[in-house]
Structure 1
């Protein structure tokens, strides 16, 4: 994907117009859609007893020189062999962010190699990666503690326990797509949202937590939806007939309450209810900078987040190598403008059924119908991705299995 150019991060935002202008420059980097990226997150468990807590020190020792600075400030935070960066989330979840690639085959092969390297590091420490979007054995507990995470927890606690569940117990799969040419942006943006509920339903893996059934197909998404609509609701909805992605995202960002305010002290807690627009208007002792604005954006978690490219955040973590299937499905749906148009048309009628997708998955008949159609479109577009024969055949079989499950869901 097209990455943001270097900008002066210390520029003071004198007024809301300046904030809007900066967001317009960084949120969507248009151009030919050529790159795809993926971010994989897992819960981490003791290999002999998955209910046993895994502490910060054990993770630090396992990751060694790949430990992020939040885990070990003295570590070099080296990337894995094929370039993936390693991060550790507040509940001890491990995530790798693969460098974007111009071909899906190259992305899959490089990421697979880095996943294998990560598994080997953990295996040597008696640890294994989880295979679902929610910790099926343990209750939420903090592992990594930083000023950001403490402030986040404090804000989320005002609305109930869902924030801690999200922070400490969930694991997701994110697919990153280029925003596309200017004339493609609105459709790709809408389609990225619209296909979310049916694909969330089709790839839901988070039905157990802390040793019990949750009653949800994706308790992970249920937690996200319960946190704070001002920072987790979708930016686009089917009601947005004349939707301007840049304007909609700008309004979303400025209206969202602050999650934290960075400073020299360990307490980054923000004043309750103060939005970024309020900050620009003088609500805090110092004015915000462009760096503050970009950091604020990093504290917003809608299902699709623009970061120059489109970050699709709605999928649960998948077992073993199954993460390649939703990646390839999305790449196929967005590989050609006509397929993207058809995907938007197929998913449009269920594009606002996020809650139903999280609750019932493919048992919700309209979502199952839409998912089956999306899988048909992906199968048709699959040859255009030029995957190696073995990966192509394996992926085609996996998509057909998913389509059969969707077909059973809407009978």
Structure 2
């Protein structure tokens, strides 16, 4: 979501792998004012949740870039860059969105914050149409899959942030480079919420966003293949994110909280202090330094430890360093003044409108929020937030999981009803209903279409549900499984 007067400005390279073409490396702060640990915690708590009535919606669409006539071929970074440069040189996108690229050459469209769901969809469609046309003129296509099933592309953007990120992830997991270069997502932004205790309050919306996270992961899982073989996961992308660096990519611990288990979206603990602890305890991914110095962060140093003692280059952190550090945290729900939902795989074609509509109305419509809360109650075992195991089951099995399947279907039904109460949402309501009928009602998700195509089976749209994951599913090509530390639950 692009910035506006009431939201934090978006650093062009301040989120995972996004930067405009030819963007220079930003200079580190000069003569920084020393930052105390207490001031840092207060800053995070105050700026990551900006209370206000839920009113606006935004979306970021990431796309893989392929040659339609040869999907497995590597696309040189210069080819997609030239196509997009011609587009941006022609003027702003018609819907007011922002066009950026990611380290592996993926393309991202970030909408401006819109006053309604319908306005967000209309503006983003206009921008996407222009981007698709520009890529097509260059013999390229924007492809909506959560993970490139054919390739492990090289990094095409040379920026000190990305060099430091690769070095950092290389110390953590072999999946870090793959996440940077070969994944794509639908990221949905909604207002944090007001100060009330009800479903419009930021406390309840934070909790509900996390309860919906595994449901959305399962419903829209769309990354089951890598290098032409099944990985054993419906959402390999989410499985990778959960494993590469738990201190910056996993959701907060579930914990007990007021209101958990009472069936209502009310009375929840304040998440601001917990998020401040999460942020300061996360390891440093990079430290900005003047060119030509490397941004590589010292190993085994958290931001909190940096506050307590300078790094090897003897520089104490400033407020600008803290803000930059916050942009290097990648949990499935990230507070940025608003709430950013990051757990949804990219969707084929115009399928992105369905998760956008579902997530938006389940959080913004009070009746739908109550219904979604009740639907997810059995998943949390009486705690405020779901445990990591549920996120991993969602990524592995999708809606075929016997506990997640009913919650997915109930949440889609609640979203469809909420869309019926919105003006100008008839098309979105029909799209959600069609998605539920095609996938969720049969325990399927978009990943199953890819698996069916790999096996040469007709794509199932009706008929009996797919068997549960514990039942025989017939012969499949050998899985190209993730490394043990990434694939084990």
Given the superposition, is the C-alpha separation of residues 4 and 388 from structure 1 closer, same or farther in structure 2, using an over 3 Å criterion?
Answer: closer
Which consecutive residues of structure 2, in runs of 5 or more, have no partner in the other structure?
10-28, 259-267, 380-385, 445-464, 469-489
Distance in 1 (CA, whole Å) between partners of 2:377 and 2:318 is 38
Deviation at 1:300, TM superposition (A): 0.4
1:258 alignment partner in structure 2: 284
Given the superposition, is the C-alpha separation of residues 101 and 162 from structure 1 closer, same or farther in structure 2, using an over 3 Å criterion?
Answer: same
Deviation at 1:17, TM superposition (A): 1.0
Contact 1:79 1:86 in 2 (8 A): no
After TM superposition, the score normalised by the length of structure 1 is: 0.92
Distance in 1 (CA, whole Å) between partners of 2:333 and 2:301 is 24
Give the one of 160, 165, 180 matched to 2:173. 160
Which consecutive residues of structure 1, in runs of 5 or more, have no partner in the other structure?
68-75
1:245 equivalent in alignment to 2:275: no
2:232 alignment partner in structure 1: 215
Deviation at 1:77, TM superposition (A): 10
1:320 alignment partner in structure 2: 349
1:337 equivalent in alignment to 2:366: yes
Secondary structure of the residue aligned to 1:48 is: coil
Secondary structure of the residue aligned to 1:155 is: helix
Give the one of 331, 355, 374 matched to 2:392. 355
Deviation at 1:132, TM superposition (A): 1.0
1:51 equivalent in alignment to 2:72: yes
1:268 alignment partner in structure 2: 295
1:267-319 residue CA offsets vs partner (Å, 9 max, x unmatched):
10011011111111123212211111110000000000001000000000000
1:241-280 residue CA offsets vs partner (Å, 9 max, x unmatched):
5632101110000000100000113410011011111111
Given the superposition, is the C-alpha separation of residues 37 and 232 from structure 1 closer, same or farther in structure 2, using an over 3 Å criterion?
Answer: same
Given the superposition, is the C-alpha separation of residues 239 and 217 from structure 1 closer, same or farther in structure 2, using an over 3 Å criterion?
Answer: farther
1:375 equivalent in alignment to 2:412: yes
Give the one of 8, 24, 27 matched to 2:48. 27
Contact 2:357 2:428 in 1 (8 A): no
Distance in 1 (CA, whole Å) between partners of 2:374 and 2:300 is 38
Deviation at 1:335, TM superposition (A): 2.2
2:7 alignment partner in structure 1: 4
1:138 equivalent in alignment to 2:185: no
CA RMSD of aligned residues (A): 2.2
Given the superposition, is the C-alpha separation of residues 39 and 218 from structure 1 closer, same or farther in structure 2, using an over 3 Å criterion?
Answer: same
Given the superposition, is the C-alpha separation of residues 354 and 390 from structure 1 closer, same or farther in structure 2, using an over 3 Å criterion?
Answer: closer
Given the superposition, is the C-alpha separation of residues 125 and 143 from structure 1 closer, same or farther in structure 2, using an over 3 Å criterion?
Answer: same
1:179-222 residue CA offsets vs partner (Å, 9 max, x unmatched):
11112111100110111112211110101112222111011111
1:329-364 residue CA offsets vs partner (Å, 9 max, x unmatched):
111211223422331232243333011111111221
Contact 2:409 2:436 in 1 (8 A): no
Given the superposition, is the C-alpha separation of residues 79 and 243 from structure 1 closer, same or farther in structure 2, using an over 3 Å criterion?
Answer: farther
Deviation at 1:144, TM superposition (A): 1.3
Contact 2:416 2:432 in 1 (8 A): no
Distance in 2 (CA, whole Å) between partners of 1:356 and 1:77 is 46
Distance in 2 (CA, whole Å) between partners of 1:376 and 1:279 is 48
Given the superposition, is the C-alpha separation of residues 292 and 79 from structure 1 closer, same or farther in structure 2, using an over 3 Å criterion?
Answer: farther
| Matched residue count | 401
Secondary structure of the residue aligned to 2:364 is: coil
1:31-65 residue CA offsets vs partner (Å, 9 max, x unmatched):
11000000000111112211111112111111115
Report 1:145-224 matches (<5 A): 145-183=158-196, 184-224=201-241
1:372-394 residue CA offsets vs partner (Å, 9 max, x unmatched):
11112112211222225444434
Contact 1:369 1:410 in 2 (8 A): no
Contact 2:186 2:346 in 1 (8 A): yes
Distance in 2 (CA, whole Å) between partners of 1:276 and 1:232 is 15
Contact 2:97 2:111 in 1 (8 A): yes
Distance in 2 (CA, whole Å) between partners of 1:93 and 1:59 is 9
Given the superposition, is the C-alpha separation of residues 369 and 13 from structure 1 closer, same or farther in structure 2, using an over 3 Å criterion?
Answer: farther
Where is the helix percentage greater, Structure 1 or Structure 2? 1
Distance in 1 (CA, whole Å) between partners of 2:170 and 2:91 is 34
Once the two structures are overlaid, the 10-residue window that deviates more, 343-352 or 170-179, is 343-352
Contact 2:8 2:337 in 1 (8 A): no
1:72 alignment partner in structure 2: none
1:101-131 residue CA offsets vs partner (Å, 9 max, x unmatched):
1111111111111111000000000001112
Report 1:89-168 matches (<5 A): 89-168=102-181
Secondary structure of the residue aligned to 1:195 is: helix
Deviation at 1:19, TM superposition (A): 0.6
After TM superposition, the score normalised by the length of structure 2 is: 0.78
Contact 2:64 2:148 in 1 (8 A): yes
Deviation at 1:398, TM superposition (A): 3.0
Distance in 1 (CA, whole Å) between partners of 2:391 and 2:434 is 27
Secondary structure of the residue aligned to 2:99 is: strand
Distance in 2 (CA, whole Å) between partners of 1:366 and 1:153 is 37
Contact 1:103 1:385 in 2 (8 A): no
